[in-house]
Chain A
């Protein structure tokens, strides 16, 4: 008995520290999840027609019970068919971009890394612009329908992924510097190509420019049905690598000597990040700021441990984009602003304030 008691006492302190930390993390993630869920529900009530929470709940309940409740539901269309897919898509896209940024910042050991610098976003933009510009010629592909532009954007993002992967390897290994430099070069290349399209476009120019600003207004359930499993699957898989990513964030040689197969990890994570980014921007256009700054905001609250930072970034990015989309449709209602403008407009000052208040403590 005495020995047993001593054993417990012996690891008491460290066990306490670990237990307390695990508990704090669970609470944080639980609160963020709850906040995300309520954000999605509340946001469907807000727009140029306000819908009360009761009506929103009744509408959602009505759909969940397959129309069993036949109360007066004149707002069902607005809530279920218009605003709910937007909110869900906003959450998915915001989450996907934030997780991508979070992974890249650790993997490339560079706090400036974001989904933009790997070239995938601007490739998607080019693909989308191409699709919009030649809609008359190739837009008649019948089965694509509302997926016409996203499919083009997605194809080009994946092409950019292979391109960047191929050229950023040095002696068969992904070089971190190579990834950053080739990624940025690819980004600029596709931006230039997109500019050419904009320059030669005439009637379609406005559509292209608006798409490039990023927005959620075209989103319907048809988009969500594809993005939802894609993004959730990728995010779940990335979570399996989060602990090992901490070691890579310290240094590749350190990670190697601690038993991490660094090359494999970088390859998997690079593909996953590209897929996440491609899924996100193909449907909504490039939405800036989230991938860069949301991970840093979450660092201030939960620290740099990717096992908690990655889920926290996902939830943070999701909540942020849901509310920015509400702002996008409210600020100049009944017209709408592209949400991509607002994310930076509101997010940047908020981040600057937070970082300044915390004296930049999180980064070393």
Chain B
């Protein structure tokens, strides 16, 4: 399973948001999409899910062109965890996760035993099984994120897109959630793409990186390709120190001061 993004250009009216974005991601791999506010991270995710239609270029998943698939077909391939899902009407956790089965149900279909087995499996995997009958307003931020992940997993997707999944969480829940994301990426062999502003989360959990700057890919590849002080300074306009901690065996990005 492979996802290919080729020369994607997207614009809102006259403003170009994405320019010639090209990259590939493979299954079992967690790719972090980084970049300052307005650099096009969320737009890129929405283009991959065909919610926004690129002006030119193509997105292929295993050779299939995303824009030619029906919504229902696409929903069986791509699961999405949106950034802030606010709800006017409250649903229970079970309702929310069952919604992930929608692309398999058809118009007249009803939830089957097989659907329930899948729903139970993903609820256990994301550790929300004990919350089955709660309504979503009775959940903590971390629990709600896990519900959204469970819903996406219930779609039985090959690709998982997460838009800043850790942004509203405390450090404990951030780490817990990232460990979960890493685990499901490996276990279910997902192509996982997530956007984040937290460089240290990215460094610790990401395997590949994509650094966007005003709609263009500024740098991409492994840690060494992306995390260099001069690159970060050019893109984020912040001086940084990149430090290796031998006891923890990984790198830390320490922001120093903004460049004026």
Give the interface of A toward B (CB within 8 A).
Answer: 10-11, 13-15, 17-18, 105-106, 109-111, 240, 243-244, 246-247, 249-251, 253-254, 256-261, 299, 303-305, 362-364
Contacts and interface: CB of A to CB of B under 8 A. Distances in A.
Contact of A258 (B70, B87, B103, B132): B103
A259 B71 contact: yes
A10 B51 contact: no
Contact of B133 (A17, A249, A299): A17
B250 to A, nearest CB: 33
Given A258-B99, A259-B75, A364 B89 contact: yes
Nearest to B102: A258
A13 B79 CA distance: 26
Ranked 8 nearest A-B pairs via Cβ: A259-B75, A259-B103, A304-B89, A257-B80, A259-B72, A364-B90, A14-B120, A109-B88
Contacts of B120: 10-11, 13-14
A13 B95 CA distance: 15
Interface of B: 46, 49, 51, 70-76, 78-80, 82, 85-92, 94-95, 99-100, 102-103, 105, 107-108, 111, 113, 116-117, 119-120, 123, 129, 132-133, 136-137, 151, 155
Contact of A260 (B49, B71, B82): B71
**Which of B88, B95, B151 has the most CB atoms of chain A within a 10 A radius of its CB?**
B88
Contact of A14 (B73, B90, B119): B119
Given A14-B132, A250-B85, A304 B76 contact: no
Nearest to A264: B71
Contacts of B99: 246-247, 250, 258
A17 B105 contact: no
A22 to B, nearest CB: 9
A106 B91 CA distance: 12
Contact of B132 (A17, A243, A246, A303): A17
29 contacts: A10-B117, A11-B113, A11-B117, A13-B120, A13-B132, A14-B119, A14-B132, A15-B113, A18-B111, A105-B89, A246-B95, A249-B87, A249-B88, A250-B91, A253-B51, A253-B82, A254-B80, A256-B49, A257-B51, A258-B100, A259-B74, A259-B103, A260-B71, A260-B102, A261-B71, A304-B89, A305-B91, A362-B89, A364-B137
A57 B94 CA distance: 45
A10 to B, nearest CB: 7
A258 B94 contact: no
B90 A363 contact: yes
**Which of A106, A240, A254, A362 has the most CB atoms of chain B within a 10 A radius of its CB?**
A254
Nearest to B97: A14
**Chain A residues touching B, majority SS:** helix
Contacts of A10: 117, 120
A15 B94 CA distance: 11
A51 B92 CA distance: 47
Contacts of A106: 89
Given A259-B71, A259-B75, A110 B49 contact: no
A14 B94 contact: yes
B102 A247 contact: yes
A251 B85 contact: yes
Contacts of B92: 303
Contacts of A305: 91, 95
Contact of A259 (B90, B102, B108, B119): B102
Contact of A17 (B71, B94, B103, B151): B94
A240 B107 contact: yes
Contacts of B94: 14, 17-18
A247 B71 CA distance: 14
Contacts of B90: 303-304, 362-364
A363 B102 contact: no
Contacts of B119: 14
A249 B102 CA distance: 14
B113 A254 contact: no
Given A259-B76, A260-B102, A261-B71, A249 B89 contact: yes
B102 A364 contact: no
Contacts of A250: 85, 87, 91, 99
Contacts of B71: 256, 259-261
Nearest to A109: B88
**Which of A11, A105, A111, A363 has the most CB atoms of chain B within a 10 A radius of its CB?**
A11
Given A243-B105, A364-B87, 18 more contacts: A10-B120, A13-B132, A244-B102, A246-B99, A253-B46, A253-B51, A257-B80, A258-B75, A258-B102, A259-B72, A259-B75, A260-B102, A299-B89, A305-B95, A362-B89, A364-B89, A364-B90, A364-B136
Contacts of A261: 70-72
A246 B105 CA distance: 14
A177 to B, nearest CB: 14
Contacts of B91: 246, 250, 303-305
Contact of A363 (B80, B88, B111): B88
A363 B70 CA distance: 33
B188 to A, nearest CB: 18
Nearest to B76: A259
B51 A364 contact: no
Given A18-B111, A244-B102, A257 B75 contact: yes
